[in-house]
A and B are shown apart, each in its own frame.
Chain A
Amino acid sequence: MADTSSDAGDLLAHYPVGPFFDELLGNAEGDPALAEMVGRLARMDLDDLRRRSEDAEQELFNLGITFLILSDREAIDRILPFDVIPRVIPSAEWRQLERGVEQRVQALNLFLHDLYHDQIVVRDGVVPAELVLGHPQFVDAMMGLDVPRQTYVHVLGVDLVRDGEGAFRVLEDNCRCPSGVSYVVENRHMMRRAFPDLMSGLPVRNVDDYGRRLHNALCDVAPAGVDEPQVVLLSPGTYNSAYFEHVFLAREMGVPLVEGRDLFVEDDRVYMRTIEGPAPVHAIYRRIGDDFLDPRAFRPDSLLGVPGLMRAYAKGNVALANAVGTGVSDDKAVYAYMPRIIRHYLDQEPVIPNVPTHICREKEGLQITLDNLADLVVKPVGEAGGYGITIGPHASREELDACRARLLENPANYISQPMIPLSVCPTLTEDGIEPRHVDLRPFAITGASTWVLPGGLTRVALRKGTLVVNSSQGGGSKDTWVMGT
């Protein structure tokens, strides 16, 4: 089907095929739609591609699809660098991933319900008590509190990578406020405008449904007996780095974006301040952390939250998504137990396996880590954004020594994993089309049932050879195409 033969210049003729699994060139067999897309890409002209890429990035900037960087004088808008070459997931592969993500959501919700009720998982010794019950993200106020439909993780973002054999593996779960879904949808809009010729006629699955699905899920968990639940999105405000995403989601859901100061609690019910006085609020998609939600229940210095919100929540007068206290389950150490957690609750094998993980709080895990430091990736369990990671094979002797010292000082704060030779995807670079490492963050929405957004956020490490895809570390993003059947 793909005609990559000679009449046009072949854009991929000098593509340096490396030792890594390639998302486009290594995966096209057996998926005619992907093969067709690769063929179209190969017939494109590099200069034209660059021009369109520049236009696309300028447009993202003008549209304000940006995150904010605060300097001492003002707020600077930056775009997440956008690579115009999409990452494609064949339909058969996606069905498997979708099942795996659904399984993950199910297990996480059962696990959280158990942790905040009977704690059988701890009593049965599946997860060590000290790991979860003493965890800083474990919220005592959630003990015995029943959340609607026993859904804790209404929005889950699962970080996946592909290993050297091309198998997807879970790298981490994001159960608090996973971000990035706005880029998924906006990247698609951008691709439709900038590359209609690459996309037309191909069975690319739609991603436009996210807002409606999220709104429905929030209505699913709103207090019973309310005909038209008032849903709001609670944002820290315009100077939050993810403000654009909050705007995006509020718009897609058709609900007000509120800040803490727009809400208040009276008689354990939540209201928003409108031009005609107070109006009741029934469900809150909150994009602020547990600590800041309610200065009466948590951090007393929080100005972002709503005093009395936890009491309204405990009484069942308002739904919060995600639930309070989910942070305990996206800890990198708890992650290591996820395969056992899935087996425990579902009596199933994980559909998507974990990356093999050594738990340094365990004597054996620490020893293996110390003995193989130069071959392993060591991660602090409490950090996000790719910070504090030591990649053994890339580290200097000094860096390894520093890492060893930190490990010995506080082993429970670390896990280690083998270095995963992340898959690559053709990417537009200064030197032409080159392979760059990618990951994938699918998003799942759960109210009464679970729905997985086809695809997810593909992050790409734009710097040559780099494995860290986080935007704070020079990462960009790509459109992600799930091919339909």
Chain B
Amino acid sequence: MARLLARYADASFWMARYMERAENLARVIDVNATFARYDTGASTWTPIIELYANQEAFAAKYAEADQASVVRFSLLDLDSLQSIRAMVRAARENARTLRPLISTEMWMHLNTFHDWMGNLRPNRIAEPHLPRLCAAIKERCQAHAGIVEGTFFRDEGWSFYQLGMMIERADQTTRLVDIKYHTLLPNPEDVGSAHDVSQWNSLLRSAAGYHAFRRIHPRGLQPADVAGFLLLNPSFPRSLSRCVDDVNELLTSLKSKYGLTGGNSALERLDELQAVLLEANIKEVIGHGLHEFIDWVQRQLNTVTDQIVADFFGL
């Protein structure tokens, strides 16, 4: 069989990233809307814009960051590339490139998902419909993941897909944790209050991690435990550690299974990241500054991406 075209590897990697990002953004919007139902005050929506570093693009279109404007910007806006609709479109454009490679089911599902997003009217994103809409988007993303799992031929193209998915998921989980800290930091005395606990609860649920967390921590719900679970638990499929381990395995298998010579510098960087995560104690991390830690992780992940791009997609 012919070696995978570099352009296909590139498209596969990014298709996965866009879909994973879309799913996670739906999770972030969903959890933030849940927070907003407890709080009053418009300021609770700005973190979503900040998390994705979209302040400029947002300010160009909207005067105020309230639920209506942020949700509209994050769900439907096609002008920036940061809305779910734009991500699904970008995933579909990559899928278009990959059509010779991917299953008909995969293309057909993305195609109909894209059309469905395109037909969403602004009234569908209004508050009473928002949780259901986010659930519907997540479900479509998960259907995509299921079709990929069930139909994507297991060759290098699959590995690059998985790489993209895991790097993006790692990055997104750090954002999800970060958003809670953005939201709550101003009032340290709130920590541990009923209000605080219910927010951590929502956060866990938005990452589909509540029940798994309960199995590990049956009695309490300490913020540090939740952050530790989402970042460092080796078995939770969305945890940073789990994803980083997966990325490492995938890159290693590109060498061992397919005999590719690239990926060394990315692996070095990942080893470093893995070592830090293995040693990390969540209380110390929080003590030193969770946001700073997350920022560092995200920069490491970006570097890994850059190195994958240079080694495999370039030439």
Q: A residues near B, CB below 8 A? A: 62-64, 230, 238, 243-244, 247, 250-251, 255-259, 261-262, 272-279
Contacts and interface: CB of A to CB of B under 8 A. Distances in A.
Nearest to B4: A275
B310 to A, nearest CB: 12
B260 A276 contact: yes
A461 B100 CA distance: 31
A250 B108 contact: no
Contact of A275 (B100, B112, B260): B260
A63 B108 contact: yes
22 contacts: A64-B108, A64-B111, A230-B2, A238-B97, A247-B100, A255-B2, A256-B5, A257-B100, A261-B7, A262-B7, A272-B2, A273-B5, A273-B6, A273-B7, A274-B2, A274-B3, A275-B156, A275-B313, A276-B258, A276-B261, A278-B315, A279-B3
A275 B262 contact: yes
Q: What DSSP secondary structure best describes chain B's contact surface? A: helix
Interface string B86-120: 00000001001101100010011001100000000
A262 B108 contact: no
B260 A250 contact: no
Given A238-B96, A247-B100, A256-B100, A275 B107 contact: no
Given A63-B108, A276-B3, 5 more contacts: A62-B108, A257-B100, A274-B4, A276-B262, A278-B315
A274 B5 contact: yes
Contacts of B6: 262, 273-275
B315 A277 contact: yes
Given A247-B100, A256-B2, A273 B108 contact: no
B9 interface: yes
Contacts of B104: 63
A230 B5 CA distance: 13
A238 B5 contact: no
A277 to B, nearest CB: 7
Contacts of A277: 315
B181 interface: no
Contacts, number: 66
B312 interface: yes
Residue among A250, A261, A277 with max Cβ neighbours from chain B (10 Å): A277
A273 B99 contact: no
A259 B313 CA distance: 15
Contacts of B156: 275
A227 B203 CA distance: 58
B315 A273 contact: yes
Nearest to A244: B99
Nearest to B157: A275
B312 A275 contact: yes
Nearest to A246: B100
A279 B7 contact: no
A249 to B, nearest CB: 9
Contact of A62 (B2, B96, B111): B111
Contacts of A255: 2
B284 to A, nearest CB: 40
Contacts of B3: 274-276, 279
Interface of B: 2-9, 93, 96-97, 99-100, 104, 107-108, 111-112, 156, 160, 258-262, 312-313, 315
A238 B96 CA distance: 7
Nearest to A231: B2
B299 to A, nearest CB: 25
A62 B113 CA distance: 10
B9 A275 contact: yes
A-B pairs, top 4 by smallest CB distance, nearest first, are: A274-B3, A250-B100, A257-B100, A247-B99
Given A62-B108, A64-B108, A259-B7, A279 B97 contact: no
A272 B5 contact: yes
Nearest to A272: B5
Given A274-B5, A277-B315, A64 B260 contact: no
A64 B108 CA distance: 7
Contacts of B97: 238
Contacts of A278: 315
Contacts of A63: 104, 107-108, 111
A64 B261 CA distance: 36
B86 to A, nearest CB: 12
A265 to B, nearest CB: 14
Residue among A258, A261, A275 with max Cβ neighbours from chain B (10 Å): A275
A360 to B, nearest CB: 44
A132 to B, nearest CB: 37
Contact of A64 (B4, B7, B107): B107
Contacts of A275: 3-6, 9, 156, 160, 260, 262, 312-313
A257 B96 CA distance: 12
A247 B160 CA distance: 21
Contacts of A262: 5-7
A262 B96 CA distance: 16
Contacts of B259: 276
A275 B4 CA distance: 6
Residue among B8, B112, B315 with max Cβ neighbours from chain A (10 Å): B315
A62 B9 contact: no
Contacts of B260: 275-276
Contacts of A247: 99-100
A256 B260 CA distance: 19
B2 A279 contact: yes
Nearest to A66: B111
Contacts of A64: 99, 107-108, 111
Given A275-B260, A275-B312, A251 B100 contact: yes
Nearest to A250: B100
Nearest to B8: A256
Contacts of A274: 2-6
A62 B115 CA distance: 9
A35 to B, nearest CB: 35
A279 B4 CA distance: 10
Contacts of B8: 256
A202 B122 CA distance: 52
A64 B100 CA distance: 12
A451 to B, nearest CB: 23
Contacts of A273: 5-7, 315
A238 B111 contact: no
Contacts of A251: 99-100
Nearest to B105: A63
A261 B97 CA distance: 13
A277 B262 CA distance: 10
B307 to A, nearest CB: 14
Nearest to B92: A64
Contacts of B112: 62
Residue among B4, B5, B6, B313 with max Cβ neighbours from chain A (10 Å): B5
Contacts of B111: 62-64
A179 to B, nearest CB: 17
A163 to B, nearest CB: 40
A424 to B, nearest CB: 34
Contacts of B2: 230, 255-256, 272, 274, 279
